[in-house]
């Protein structure tokens, strides 16, 4: 699918941003107006255009709140948060030294926090104890009664933000009476920015303290805890579920078996061999050519250098190697739903591979282009995706 741009990376990110309209993260006219200001593949123009929309909405939200218009303020803050995230997306040249990237990311978090204070249901910002530090989280409560409810523990993947998780999954869960405990772990956005923690493959050590916190709360039903991982998070959640026996169900959105194979598909086979063999003297210049030719490859490797703490693109690629489900998937015991997308060429075959490796109660849902849900993680089709997933969860948890 091409959405507003010919460049595949720009097209997908525009669709991702627009798709968050289902839960208040965008307005289609604003998306169209912003994209009209951006030449295809121009990363600087991308950041400028989305920043302008986000700043305007931030001002509108402040004015609405000052005037006592809480609903208008909440809606504007939510859209501003998503647009700030979008403005920052391609700013991966040198994130450590990019002050504007830090400003945009901070504004995305801040505007969402302001919106959260205006939600009609309780939203609790949390710092969950993790090793010698904490992980940022939000607990979205379906109501304020304190009654135990099924609870979704949700984390993102390679590049999603804590705030964006509400648009991806949280909004749909709340409408169906689920509590949502959304969090960021090592390697992910604010944890990487503020604490310097990079990704780790043994994700069960990240999820365990979050489960501990959930089960310490009287408003969480301990028998109906769901682990939900999005994109790269689908692999991470599967890894955690294999070592976590307190989960009633797991949703892999989408299913990924081997994260190292995904970027290797986007570069010539000989180049992948050079990287794997550590021949960086020849792999480095060749990767530079691939990065110059493809926005997607350039973004993936530059972001990977930051998220994995790698010094070169080749190191970032090799850092993906430990992330797979070898000798792991067969140990998942809870009911597991694996999601796939017809047009997801980068992850082609991965969901089926995960499903085949599972030995638990399992299902595989493949979303199609004909229903408008064929892109990676069903971007642009949030309502259809959430309908199928939460209907499945309702049935597994006895809520149908």
CA distance 73 to 191: 27
Instruction: Report the length, in residues, of the chain.
Output: 400
- Which residue is catalytic, options 11, 231, 290, 294? 231
Q: Per residue, what are the HEC states of the chain?
A: CCCCCCCHHHHHHHHHHHHHHHHCCCCHHHHHHHHHCCCCCCHHHHHHHHHHHHHHHHHHHHHHHHCCCHHHHHHHHHHHHHHHHHHHCCCCCCHHHCHHHHHHHHHHHHHHHHHHCCCCCCEEEEEEEECCEEEEEEEECCCCCCCCEEEEEEECCCCCCCCHHHHHHHHHHHHCCCEEEEECCCCCHHHHHHHCCCCCCCCHHHHHHHHHHHHCCCCEEEEEEEEEEECHHHHHHHHHHCCCCCCCEEEEECCCCECCHHHHCCCCHHHHHHHHCCCHHHHHHHHHHHHHHCHHHHHHHHHHHHHHCCCCHHHHHHHCCCCECCCCHHHCCCEEEEEEECCCCCCCCHHHHHHHHCCCCEEEEEECCCCCCCCHHHCCCHHHHHHHHHHHHHHHCCCC
Report CA 64 to chain centroid distance, whole Å: 30
Among this protein's residues, is 81 annotated catalytic? Answer: no
Positions marked catalytic: 231
């Amino acid at each position: 699918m091409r959405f507003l741009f010919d460049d595949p990376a720009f097209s997908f990110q525009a669709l991702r941003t627009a798709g968050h309209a289902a839960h208040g993260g965008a307005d289609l006219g604003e998306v169209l107006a912003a994209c009209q200001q951006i030449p295809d593949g121009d990363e600087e123009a991308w950041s400028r255009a989305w920043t302008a929309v986000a700043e305007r909405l931030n001002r509108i939200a402040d004015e609405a709140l000052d005037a006592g218009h809480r609903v208008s303020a909440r809606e504007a803050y939510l859209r501003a948060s998503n647009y700030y995230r979008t403005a920052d997306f391609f700013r991966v040249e040198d994130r450590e030294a990019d002050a504007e990237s830090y400003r945009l990311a901070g504004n995305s978090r801040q505007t969402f926090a302001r919106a959260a204070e205006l939600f009609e249901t309780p939203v609790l910002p949390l710092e969950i104890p993790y090793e010698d530090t904490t992980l940022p989280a939000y607990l979205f409560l379906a109501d304020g009664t304190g009654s135990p409810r099924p609870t979704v523990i949700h984390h993102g993947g390679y590049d999603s933000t804590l705030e964006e998780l509400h648009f991806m999954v949280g909004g749909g869960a709340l409408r169906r009476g689920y509590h949502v405990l959304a969090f960021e772990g090592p390697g992910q956005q604010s944890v990487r920015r503020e604490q310097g923690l990079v990704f780790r493959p043994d994700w069960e050590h990240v999820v365990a303290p979050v489960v501990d916190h959930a089960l310490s709360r009287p408003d969480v039903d301990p028998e109906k805890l769901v682990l939900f991982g999005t994109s790269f998070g689908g692999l991470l959640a599967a890894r955690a579920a294999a070592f976590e026996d307190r989960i009633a169900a797991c949703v892999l959105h989408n299913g990924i078996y081997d994260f190292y194979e995904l970027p290797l598909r986007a570069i010539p086979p000989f180049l992948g061999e050079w990287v794997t063999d550590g021949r960086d003297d020849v792999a480095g210049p060749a990767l530079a050519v691939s990065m110059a030719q493809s926005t997607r490859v350039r973004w993936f490797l530059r972001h990977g250098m930051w998220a994995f703490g790698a010094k070169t693109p080749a190191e970032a690629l090799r850092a993906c190697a430990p992330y797979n489900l070898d000798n792991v998937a067969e140990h998942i015991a809870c009911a597991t739903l694996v999601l796939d997308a017809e047009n997801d060429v980068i992850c082609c075959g991965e969901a089926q591979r995960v499903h085949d490796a599972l030995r638990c109660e399992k299902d595989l849902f493949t979303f199609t282009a004909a229903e408008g849900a064929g892109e990676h993680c069903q971007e642009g089709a949030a309502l259809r995706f959430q309908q199928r997933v939460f209907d499945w969860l309702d049935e597994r948890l006895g809520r149908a």
